[in-house]
């Protein structure tokens, strides 16, 4: 395990130069203090978890100190926001402090969010508030625990620095980790500003750093784009399978690595609702839960347009055509596992759609249904779950189809079935009301609930004694919290 001053930097993106990012120093926040840290994320940097409690930890990630080898840069990019192209966005409140490589040879970007104004802040103050920083931290680590590709979060540092949003709040910083912070919007920026040399330099950098195996292919850029399509199809399949709503799927929030990126007004489904909109600023429902699948394809098409200088339109179209079949294959595979099925049948899609429609009509809790389905034999589980449905006759019909489907798989040891289903059906998810309770306590200076919730969500599939309240259905007030992009 390393101390903080033993990190090894190799700032590969910074070496691309001023066309790609701008040197900016973090603006320190007043009285920095640790809110929460992730030992699992710290392990990615080979850091001893004990260093999180030291004063220098809060000073480093609160903008007061900087490693001599760090090169803080604000990245420039553009992107389509709610379908409209915005020509210049960039890191308006975050800085890429540098890239650290660990003993396993992995490179990790250290990205400090809430680090102050940059040339890309526009009218913003460059700050992040405590509530949004806690939400990003919890979501990053919770998604990772669910085996959903995501950026990671090392820590949240709180402060006494006041910031104004709808009301006065306190500034905070969150340290985000990712192998790369390159977004679809990076390629769009150089494409639309007609800078082919820099665009190729960016593409070559991404290929060499993140897709080196594609360099062995006859058309490296096409091979890279195909992998980006594949990764995003699998990512969004996992979002849909676990009921995760991103809320702001702009192209500047899409990672070239196919990882969940930039947490704003996200939410996990409580009651199943395919039309759920988690962002109260999304008046048209562009980024509703069910729309995430076509929006994923739309965003990949926007990236494809930016790659037309390097790949033929015909090849791009053909590769984009892989997205929906790949999504459907990944999604159905995940949902079969959530239903406890180990084989594939042609009518499985219909069986799943029938269930989801019944859940939609009855407002059934999405996560708890699948968890309880694995608690007992199919017949007993169906008998217990039927009271959750308004259309009991309809659910009984589905239950008969489901138990017959399970029976066709042959003799099943119920203990093994329970273990297998519980390994993919979480008992604990990051419900908005749980996050809000932790935020309310943190804003009063009590960080115990944030840390407790993080610990529970770090092990979502295993029942944890004394944590029963974290697995309950939310109260009515908890189902209707409005979350915005404001942070």
pLDDT at 249: 97
Q: Kindly report the number of other CB atoms within 10 A of residue 391's CB atom.
A: 14
Query: What per-residue confidence (pLDDT) applies to 475?
Result: 87
Quote the radius of gyration of the chain (alpha carbons, Å).
23
Binding residues are: 90, 92-93, 113, 125-126, 176, 183, 253, 262
pLDDT, position 477: 79
Give the span between the Cα atoms of 227 and 233, in whole angstroms. 10
> Which of 312, 153, 130, 334 lies closest to 244 in space, CA to CA?
334
CB 266 within 8 A of CB 132: no
Structure confidence at residue 88 (pLDDT): 80
Catalytic residue list contains 10:
no
**374-382 long-range Cβ contacts below 8 angstroms, 24+ apart:** 374/340, 374/417, 374/418, 374/420, 374/421, 374/422, 374/425, 375/418, 376/414, 376/418, 377/414, 378/340, 378/402, 378/403, 378/406, 379/403
Beta bridge partners of 107: 101
Q: What's the rounded Cα separation, in Å, for the pair 310 and 78?
A: 19
Could you tell me the two tokens for 106? Answer: 């992995």
- pLDDT tens, N- to C-terminus, the chain (487 residues): 888 989 999 999 999 999 999 999 999 999 999 999 999 999 999 999 999 999 999 999 999 999 999 999 999 999 999 999 999 899 999 999 999 999 999 999 999 999 999 999 988 899 999 999 999 999 999 999 999 999 999 999 999 999 998 899 999 999 999 999 999 999 999 999 999 999 999 999 999 999 999 999 999 999 999 999 999 999 999 999 999 999 999 999 999 999 999 999 999 999 999 999 999 888 888 999 999 999 999 999 999 999 999 999 999 999 999 999 999 999 999 999 999 999 999 999 999 999 999 999 999 999 999 999 999 999 999 999 999 999 999 999 999 999 999 999 987 789 999 999 999 999 999 999 999 999 999 999 999 999 999 999 999 999 999 999 999 999 887 776 767 655 5
Q: Quick count: other Cβ atoms within 10 Å of Cβ 404?
A: 10
Q: Which residues are annotated as a binding site for ATP?
A: 90, 92-93, 113, 125-126, 176, 183, 262
Strands 21-23 and 128-129: unpaired
Rounded to 5, what percent of the chain is helix, strand, coil? 45, 15, 40
DSSP class of residue 374? T
CA pair distance 107, 85, nearest whole angstrom? 31
Tokens of 339: 């239903």
CA distances from residue 34 to 46, 51, 248, 367 in whole angstroms, order as listed: 19, 11, 28, 32
Q: Give the 3-state secondary structure of residue 345.
A: coil
The DSSP 8-state label assigned to residue 178 in this structure reads E
User: What pLDDT is recorded for position 434?
Assistant: 97
pLDDT attached to residue 485: 57
Q: What is the pTM of this model?
A: 0.96
Indicate the annotated binding residues for Mg(2+): 253, 262
Predicted confidence at residue 486, as pLDDT, reads 55
Give the pLDDT of residue 306: 98
Among candidate residues 46, 91, 109, 252, the one labeled active-site is 252
Say how far apart CA 72 and CA 63 lie, in whole Å.
Answer: 11
């Amino acid at each position: 395990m390393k101390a903080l001053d033993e990190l090894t930097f190799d700032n590969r993106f910074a070496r691309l130069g001023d066309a790609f990012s701008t040197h900016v120093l973090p603006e320190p926040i007043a009285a920095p203090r640790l809110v929460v840290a992730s030992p699992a994320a710290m392990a990615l940097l080979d850091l001893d978890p004990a260093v999180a409690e030291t004063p220098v930890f809060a000073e480093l990630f609160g903008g007061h100190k900087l490693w001599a080898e760090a090169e803080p840069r604000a990245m420039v990019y553009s992107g389509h926001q709610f379908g409209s192209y915005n020509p210049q966005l960039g890191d308006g409140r975050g800085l890429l402090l540098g890239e650290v490589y660990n003993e396993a040879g992995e490179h990790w970007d250290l990205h400090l969010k809430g680090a102050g104004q940059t040339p890309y802040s526009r009218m913003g103050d460059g700050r992040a508030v405590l509530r949004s920083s806690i939400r990003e931290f919890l979501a990053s680590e919770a998604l990772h625990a669910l085996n959903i590709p995501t950026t990671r979060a090392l820590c949240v540092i709180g402060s006494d620095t006041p910031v104004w949003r709808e009301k006065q709040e306190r500034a905070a910083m969150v340290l985000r980790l990712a192998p790369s912070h390159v977004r679809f919007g990076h390629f769009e920026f150089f494409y639309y500003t007609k800078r082919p040399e820099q665009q190729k330099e960016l593409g070559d950098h991404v290929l060499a750093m993140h897709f080196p195996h594609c360099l062995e292919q006859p058309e490296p850029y096409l091979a890279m784009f195909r992998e980006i399509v594949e990764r995003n199809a699998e990512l969004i399949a996992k979002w849909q399978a676990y009921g995760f709503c991103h809320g702001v799927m702009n192209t500047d929030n899409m990672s070239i690595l196919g990882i969940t990126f930039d947490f704003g007004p996200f939410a996990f489904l409580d009651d199943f609702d395919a039309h759920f909109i988690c962002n109260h600023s999304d008046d048209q429902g562009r980024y509703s839960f069910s729309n995430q699948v076509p929006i994923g394809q739309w965003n990949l098409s926007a990236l494809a347009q930016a790659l037309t200088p390097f790949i033929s339109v015909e090849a791009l179209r053909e590769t984009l055509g892989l997205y929906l079949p790949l999504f459907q294959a990944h999604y159905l595979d995940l949902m079969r596992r959530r239903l406890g099925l180990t084989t594939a049948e042609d009518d499985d899609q219909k069986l799943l759609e029938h269930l989801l429609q019944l859940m939609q009509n009855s407002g059934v809790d999405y996560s708890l249904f699948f968890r309880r389905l694995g608690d007992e034999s199919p017949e007993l589980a169906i008998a217990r779950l039927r009271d959750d449905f308004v259309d009991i006759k309809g659910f009984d019909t589905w239950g008969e189809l489901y138990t017959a489907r399970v029976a066709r798989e042959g003799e099943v040891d119920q203990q093994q079935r329970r273990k297998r289903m519980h390994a993919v059906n979480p008992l604990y998810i990051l419900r908005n009301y749980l996050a809000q309770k932790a935020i309310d306590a943190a804003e009063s200076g009590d960080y115990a609930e944030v840390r407790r919730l993080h610990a529970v969500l770090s092990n979502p599939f295993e029942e944890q004694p004394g944590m029963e309240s974290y697995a309950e259905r939310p109260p009515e007030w908890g189902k209707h919290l409005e979350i915005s992009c404001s942070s």
